[in-house]
Chain A
Amino acid sequence: MIAVRHVGLRPRVAVAATGRHAAILIVIIGLLFPLFWVAVTSLRPANDLFSTSPIPWPMSVENYRDAIFRFPIGTMLLNTAIMAIAATLLQVTVAIGAAYALVRFRPRWGGAVVLLAGAAVVIPPQMLIIPQFLIASHLGWRDTYLGLIIPQLAACGLPILLLREYLVDIPTSLLEASIMDGARPAETLRLVVLPLLRPALAAVSILVFVNTWNEYLWPTLIAPQVNHTTIQAGLQLLGNQEGPTSGALLAAAMITTLPVLAVYAIASRRITHAFLQSGIK
């Protein structure tokens, strides 16, 4: 295939291209193999779980039945979805406000805010988790949606930075034209800025959604009960409570991955585009 595509090229160029493609292929295999193995193993019957055959034969959906019917996986998925959607909405809303204010009003302390947002991205969240946990506990937010959602707002540094990059790219004259047209700041935001930001908002929302969906440490701490926690934290409970249930665990992990995969599959082009354009990787 590679040879066909490079017909007419000098041999050295063809070899270089082949080498590059081979390298990419190896990386992709390296990345996909664990997922593949989880998928294969989740389809094996319990007594065949540690087989090294790449083909899951004899095949069994027993693990999936266990994961779905013997554990509250539906509740956990619902909890996760509520947390991820709410946190995404909150983070993006706050980020829109912050980014717009920074660009439109150019406050004197704007640079400091951008720096703080950058710091929020760079500082490892694990460092803040104990004070965060203490505050949330004092507020009585353990095993509640509030506890799952509100503290996630601390992670809105990245959406602020991303949206600000996009806003800076909107010509100043457009904002000024709307001012001359008599638009108040909120109207400029709603009628001019947001429609232009739509692609960026989609990309940032997807990013935040996937990040929040995969959140593990915080739900484990703040919502440890099996019916109140998220699927990521719940997976671990699954194994511990019921003894050796690796098969069901892997099946549940597959089910958990599906929504994220679906989001990426639908929006991968948009995500790549957003990151290439913003200059932030």
Chain B
Amino acid sequence: MTDVMRQPESAARERGRVPTPPAVVAAAPSGGIELRSVRKSFGSTPAVDLPALSVPAGSLTVLVGPSGCGKSTLLRMIAGLETPEAGHIHIDGQDITAARPGERGVAMVFQDFALYPHMTVAANVGFGLVLEAKHAGRGALPRAEISRRVRDVCDLLGLGDKLGRRPRELSGGERQRVALARALVRRKPVLLLDEPLSNLDAGLRAQARAELIRLHREVAGTFVLVTHDQAEALSLGTRVVVLRAGRLEQAGTPEEIWRCPANLFVARFLGSPAMNIVADSRGRLLGWRPADAIALGVTSPPAAPTDAGEVFEGEVDVTEFVGDRRMAHCVGDHGPWSVEFPAATPVAVGQRIRVLVPAGSLHHFDAQTGTRL
């Protein structure tokens, strides 16, 4: 079965005879996903419990949350590798809750890439197509067509000269791209990615992020990506879904959830350094990001709280140099908070400082429920 795959040259020959259009991976797949009251638990611990969640077609939706929040289980349920205990999953309006993984219009990139060690890159990428051809019967998907598609997707991902290699002869970044190629070549409307960047080293990860965004634009499919890294979620996603303990905390564009975190959990989860949370005099919780504070000189006249914003006063406990910025961790009257200044700002340990947080940068939360007010 792998004759074609073992000889990438045959693909080249085929291309020489028949002029083919430039690498087109998928025409215009749709791939909107609807989850309705999906529930799954492991033993007595609920892993996922979602009344409703929709993943818009063509989006790059990132499922993010701390470990154990159910994001991987959710992804695996969409893939068909786990079965929900209750609820329904629809892709493009079709109920695929009970469909077999290979027949529900999804492809998947695994965290450890899961490349078949005994197969070449070409055979790895073409494996799904060869099976598809076999199951569909004679003539449905000719070998030449398989070779061409493998070749095209590998060219798109810069693997054109690696077709004959085996996974162990590839670098981490190349393996990741083979995993992507294997998922993309099947032209499924939905691509699921389980922490695809976590097995890459830091330098490569930034590059892979940009490549992933470009890829999403080029193949125009629906990508659902799982990560525990909030920065990755914000930078990659066109839509971010924050999960905790199997429940939906907030879903929206990265800007929406950054500007208007729906509750304390989301507010604290996003951003590094995390948002300051301080109780105010009226028994509510005030949140603000360290970078949004404006330093007021200690010598300047004390400003009373105005409509323009809130003033916080505290003593500098620790300072951190972070390139062009300087972090000051302070002990204030209502608890610890941190601020970020331009590096040139003179702040010394033990110094009392006052900062103004503009009204527009303040977030108010209910002290009891943690919901945004």
A interface with B by C-beta (< 8 Å):
171, 173-174, 176-183, 187, 191-192, 195-196
Stretch at the interface among B6-14, B114-122, B150-158, B238-246: B114-122
B-chain residues with CB within 8 Å of residue A176 when the two chains form the complex: 81, 108, 110, 114
Cα A168 to Cα B112 with chains together (Å): 17
Given A174, A180, A182, A187, which contacts B116 in the complex, CB threshold below 8 Å?
A: A174
**CA–CA, A177 and B81, complex, Å:** 10
Contact A192 B110 (CB under 8 A): no
Say whether A174 contacts B131, CB under 8 Å.
no
* Structural contact, A183 and B112, CB atoms closer than 8 A: no
- Nearest 4 A/B pairs, CB to CB: A182-B102, A181-B128, A173-B114, A177-B114
B110 touches A177 (CB 8 A): yes
Q: Do B116 and A183 touch across chains, with their CB atoms under 8 A apart?
A: no
Given contacts A182-B132, A183-B102, A187-B131, contact A177 B108 (CB under 8 A): yes
| Binary per-residue interface labels of chain B (112-143) against chain A in the complex, 1 for a CB within 8 Å, 0 otherwise | 10111110000000011001100100000000
A191–B135 Cα distance when bound, in Å, is 15
Report 21 cross-chain contacts, Cβ distance below 8 Å, ordered by A residue.
A171-B114, A173-B112, A174-B114, A174-B116, A176-B110, A177-B110, A177-B182, A178-B116, A179-B80, A179-B102, A180-B79, A180-B81, A180-B106, A180-B108, A182-B102, A182-B103, A182-B128, A182-B131, A183-B102, A187-B131, A195-B118
Asked whether, in the complex, the Cβ of A182 is within 8 Å of the Cβ of B81, the reply is no
| A277–chain B nearest beta-carbon distance, Å | 16
Contact A178 B127 (CB under 8 A): yes
A176 to B110, CA, bound (A): 9
Contacts of B332 in A (CB 8 A): none
Question: Which of the listed residues B80, B103, B115, B128 has the most CB atoms from chain A within 10 Å of its own CB?
Answer: B128
| B134: nearest chain-A partner, CB-CB | A187
User: A195 vs B135: C-alpha distance in the bound complex, in angstroms?
Assistant: 21
Q: Which residues of B contact A182 (CB under 8 A)?
A: 101-103, 128, 131-132, 135
* Known A181-B186, A196-B117; 11 more pairs at CB < 8 Å: A174-B116, A176-B81, A177-B116, A179-B81, A181-B102, A182-B102, A182-B103, A182-B128, A182-B135, A191-B127, A195-B118
**Other-chain contact of B101, A179, A192, A195 (Cβ < 8 Å):** A179
- Which residues from chain A contact B135 at a C-beta distance below 8 Å? 182
B111 contacts across to A, CB distance below 8 A: 173
Question: Does any Cβ of A come within 8 Å of B107's Cβ?
Answer: yes
Please, which residue of chain B has its CB at the minimum distance from the CB of A181?
B128
Interchain nearest-CB distance for A259 vs B (Å): 31
Bound Cα distance A196, B119 (Å): 10
Cβ-defined partner of B131 (8 Å) among A171, A181, A196: A181
Residues of B within 8 A of A192 (CB): 116
Query: Nearest Cβ distance between residue B225 and chain A, in whole angstroms?
Result: 16
Which of A171, A181, A191, A195 is close to B112, meaning CB atoms less than 8 Å apart? A171
Secondary structure type dominating chain A contacts: helix
For A187, list chain B residues within 8 Å (CB): 131
Contacting residues, chain A, for B107 (C-beta < 8 A): 180
**How far does the Cβ of A107 sit from chain B's closest Cβ, in whole Å?**
16
Q: Which residue of B102, B112, B115, B132 is within 8 Å of A180 (Cβ)?
A: B102
Interface hub of B106, B115, B118 (most chain A Cβ within 10 A): B118
B51-83 Cβ-contact flags toward A at 8 Å (1 or 0):
000000000000000000000000000011100
Per the bound structure, the CA–CA distance linking A94 and B116 in Å amounts to 25
Q: How far is the CB of B111 from chain A (nearest CB, A)?
A: 7
CA A33 to CA B116, docked complex, whole Å: 48
Q: Which residues of B contact A180 (CB under 8 A)?
A: 79, 81, 101-102, 106-108, 128, 183
Contacts of B112 in A (CB 8 A): 171, 173
| Nearest-CB residue, chain B, relative to A188 | B131
Query: Measured between alpha carbons, how far is A180 from B105 in the docked complex, in Å?
Result: 10
How distant is B244 from chain A, measured CB to nearest CB, in Å?
25
Report B-chain residues with C-beta under 8 Å of the C-beta of A183.
102, 127, 131
Query: Complex formed: what's the CA distance from A246 to B118 in Å?
Result: 53
B118 and A196 contacting across the interface, CB-CB below 8 Å: yes
List residues 233-258 of chain B with CB under 8 A from any CB of chain A.
none
The answer for the CA separation of A280 and B102 in the assembled complex, in Å, is 37
- Which chain B positions have C-beta within 8 A of A171? 112, 114
A187 to B131 CA separation, bound complex (whole angstroms): 9
B194 (CB) vs chain A CBs: closest residue: A173
In the complex, what residues of B have CB within 8 A of residue A191's CB? Answer: 1, 127
From B128, which residue of chain A is reached at the shortest CB distance?
A181
Q: What per-residue 1/0 map shows which CB atoms of B175-211 lie under 8 Å from chain A?
A: 0000000110010000000000000000000000000
Distance in angstroms from A73 CB to nearest chain B CB is 43
Find the A residue at minimum CB distance from B188. A180
A181 and B131 CA atoms in complex are apart in Å by: 8
Per-residue CB contact flags for chain B residues 212-226 toward chain A (1 = under 8 Å, else 0) read 000000000000000
* A177 contacts across to B, CB distance below 8 A: 108, 110, 114-116, 182
How far, in whole Å, are A177 and B103 apart by their CA atoms in the complex?
A: 14
- How far does the alpha carbon of A208 sit from the alpha carbon of B284 in the complex, in Å? 74
B91 to chain A, nearest CB (A): 14
Q: Chain B's nearest CB lies how many Å from the CB of A189?
A: 13
Q: Which residue of B lies closest to A198 (CB)?
A: B118
Complex contacts, B115 vs chain A, CB 8 Å: 177
A246 to B103, CA, bound (A): 70
